Every structure is written in C-alpha cells, then in structure tokens.
Chain A
Amino acid sequence: MARFKKDTKSGTPKINTASLPDIIFMLLFFFMVTTTLRETQLFVRTQLPFATEVQTLERKSLVSHIYIGPPFQTRIFGTEPRIQLQDQFATVDDIASFISAEREARAEAERPLMTTSLKIDRETTMGIVTDVKQELRQVNALRINYSTARGEVPASPRR
C-alpha cells in the first residue's frame, strides 16, 4: 500500500505561463495597428447613406473632412443641419480658409491629389450641400468624395 502514497505528495502541476505576455502584446499590437484614432470630436450626427458603387478612399493623409448634419445637442444648437470643420461649428464662408490651411499643410507636389471627403447625414437637404460644393469649386478643391456606407440602397427613401 505504500506505493500509492507518492501521488498525494505532489500538488497540482504548474502550468507554464511564459507565453502569456506574448499573447497580451499580440492583443496590444493588433489594436494599435487597426484602431483609427479619431482626431476630431463630432458635434453633428453623420449617419451616412448607402451606396453600392463605392470606391475606397486611399491616401488618408491627403483627405480633409467636412461634416454636415444636425447637431447632437439639439437643446443648445437646434436641429437645423450645421457644418463642422475640424473640431468646431463653421459656416459656408469658413470653408475657403479651411481648404487653404489644409493645402498649406501638405507638400506642394501632393496638393493636386487632395480630396475633400463630405460626411453628410442622410436626412440633410441638398441646399446646404450645394452651397458647400459651390464654395469648394470657388477655391478649386474639385476632387470630392461623398462618403457613404457600403450596402444596398433602401427601396425608396422618404415617401
């Protein structure tokens, strides 16, 4: 019977946890690489419309964003769609100086490739969008991208 006594002496076997830090680092690097840091805080809602014929926006460093939509804080700012440039509300007249500031920040050779991405809420009316487009034409920022979500267009919007 003495033979069996040996087993009770050793406790639970130790698990080698040397690879745990590797796993945690893998997680960390994964999120560091994939996360797109949002440099601006949005004040307006931009629920994008759907489209199927979309192109991917390349060269993110050459893209400047214009946000248009109803403000989140409706009690302070109302429900009328507003324009947001960088991290503040703006009017159509501010677009010219915004675009020239964006141009200044890029190398001269890359300026013709600059794109303006319009992130516009789907319930906005075209009036304000047309004003913005006219202003962009005036300052020669002609490459624009109507930002959309990828997906089927709903059967018949509004109606």
Chain B
Amino acid sequence: MARMRPEINAGSMADIAFLLLIFFLVTTTMDVDVGITRMLPPPIDPNAPPPPPVRERNVFVVLVDRHDRLMVEGQITSIDRLRDVTKEFLLNPYDDPSKPEKRIEEIPHLGEIEVSRGIISLQNDRGTSYEMYISVQNELAAAINEIRDEMSKEHFGMKFSDLRDQELIDAIRHAVPMAISEAEPKDIGG
C-alpha cells in the first residue's frame, strides 16, 4: 500500500538564504591592506665618504618630541598647519632666499619646469607615539600630493590620482619628488 510521504514546504528557505546573504554583505568588511608606503634609506657603508652636505635652506626640519609636540623649522607648530607650511616650503612661490632653491629641468610631457630641491627631514624621538608619527607622515604626504594634483591639473587637466598613463605619472613624480628623509635615530629628548 503506497503511503503518501509528507513533503516539507521548503519555499521559505530561499528567503532565509537571502536574509543571510544580505546580513553578511552588510557586515563583512573586505579587508584590503592599505597604508603609507615608504622606501628606507640604504644602510650606511662605514667606509664610504660622507655625502656632500645639503644647504640649510633646502632642508625642512620636522621634529616630533616624546610628548608628541611638533616643531617645524625651529618653531612649535600645530599639526593642522603642517600641510600648508610644507606646501609653502616646497613651492617657494616668492623665491624667498630662506626657502629651497629650484633648478630648471627638462622633463618629457612637462617641458622645462622648476623642480624644488627641498628635502623634508623628519626626526622623531624614541618616545613619540606611533599615532602621531603616522599623522605627521600623512600630512607631509598630503602636502606633496596636493602639489602633484595642482601640477597635474595645470598640465594634463585632471588630478594626479586620476592619471592612468604611466609616462605622465612618472613625469609628475619626477617634477615633485616625494623627498622625505627619515633621519638616523637619535634621542632628541624633550
């Protein structure tokens, strides 16, 4: 005698599955590794002759002490102003003799252009907090990126981050180098 097997109504299973799907879609953060990429200076060869000294007007000293106080070119500065001060140093719009020299360079796609010889020297203490250090690195990078954006808009009509042609990217990178030097560690106290 054939008995009819009861069937379970599974029609709502799809709804449950979709509910789950949407829940995970909303809550999953796709973990992309982002960060500030830097090149460390190569190790110092003790036998090599010391590098030629850089002229004082070309060096922009940014110093963070162990109480996370920021000192820029000998003056205590708040981090909010760091970006503008850095931009003014690198651009040197009024050819101030205390700010860095510029040299004229021939760069493909840009023609003859002034390249700043300024170098940012970032110094920190062993007691500086990592958070502050990254904030300072971030502001310095932001200053350089803003200058690159401005130059890119002027010459190519779009922001630096929107450039896709590698040659144009290299040209801008050459014209506005990411010249951040991390000093040899030393205790600057404070």
Which residues of A approach B to under 8 Å, CB–CB? 12, 14-15, 17, 19-20, 23-24, 26-27, 30-31, 34, 36, 49-57, 60, 63, 115, 117-118, 120-127, 129-130, 133-134, 136-138, 140-150, 153, 156-159
Interchain CB contact (< 8 A) of B17 among A27, A56, A115, A150: A27
Instruction: Kindly state the interface size class of chain B when it binds its partner.
Output: 35 or more
The complex places the Cα of A71 from the Cα of B157 at a distance, in Å, of 50
CB-CB under 8 A from B17, the residues of chain A are 20, 23-24, 27
Q: Which of B26-34, B55-63, B94-102 contacts A (4 or more CB under 8 A)?
A: B26-34
CB-CB under 8 A from A123, the residues of chain B are 129-131
CB-CB under 8 A from B33, the residues of chain A are 56-57, 60, 63, 117, 145, 147
The complex places the Cα of A136 from the Cα of B125 at a distance, in Å, of 19
The answer on a CB contact under 8 Å between B34 and A150 is yes
B121 to chain A, nearest CB (A): 15
CB-CB under 8 A from A27, the residues of chain B are 17, 20-21, 24
Interchain CB contact (< 8 A) of A126 among B79, B130, B135: B130
The complex places the Cα of A125 from the Cα of B68 at a distance, in Å, of 10
B107 to chain A, nearest CB (A): 23
Interchain CB contact (< 8 A) of B185 among A15, A134, A140: A134
Is there a chain A Cβ closer than 8 Å to B156's Cβ?
Answer: no
Which residues of B approach A to under 8 Å, CB–CB? 7, 9-11, 13-14, 17-18, 20-21, 24, 28, 30-43, 66-68, 78-79, 124-135, 137-139, 141-142, 145, 182, 185
The answer on a CB contact under 8 Å between A49 and B130 is yes
A–B pairs, 21, beta carbons within 8 Å: A23-B14, A23-B21, A27-B24, A34-B30, A51-B134, A51-B137, A52-B142, A53-B36, A54-B35, A55-B36, A126-B129, A130-B185, A138-B43, A142-B39, A142-B40, A145-B38, A146-B36, A153-B135, A156-B78, A157-B129, A158-B132
The answer on a CB contact under 8 Å between B68 and A54 is no
Q: Give the dominant DSSP class at B's interface.
A: mixed
The answer on a CB contact under 8 Å between B43 and A49 is no
The answer on a CB contact under 8 Å between A56 and B185 is no
A137 to chain B, nearest CB (A): 5
A133 to chain B, nearest CB (A): 6
A39 to chain B, nearest CB (A): 13
The answer on a CB contact under 8 Å between B127 and A157 is no
CB-CB under 8 A from A12, the residues of chain B are 9
CB-CB under 8 A from B125, the residues of chain A are 126
A sample of 13 more A-B contacts (CB under 8 A), given A51-B134, A146-B137, A148-B36, is: A30-B24, A51-B135, A52-B142, A122-B134, A126-B127, A130-B185, A134-B185, A137-B40, A142-B39, A144-B38, A145-B35, A146-B38, A156-B79
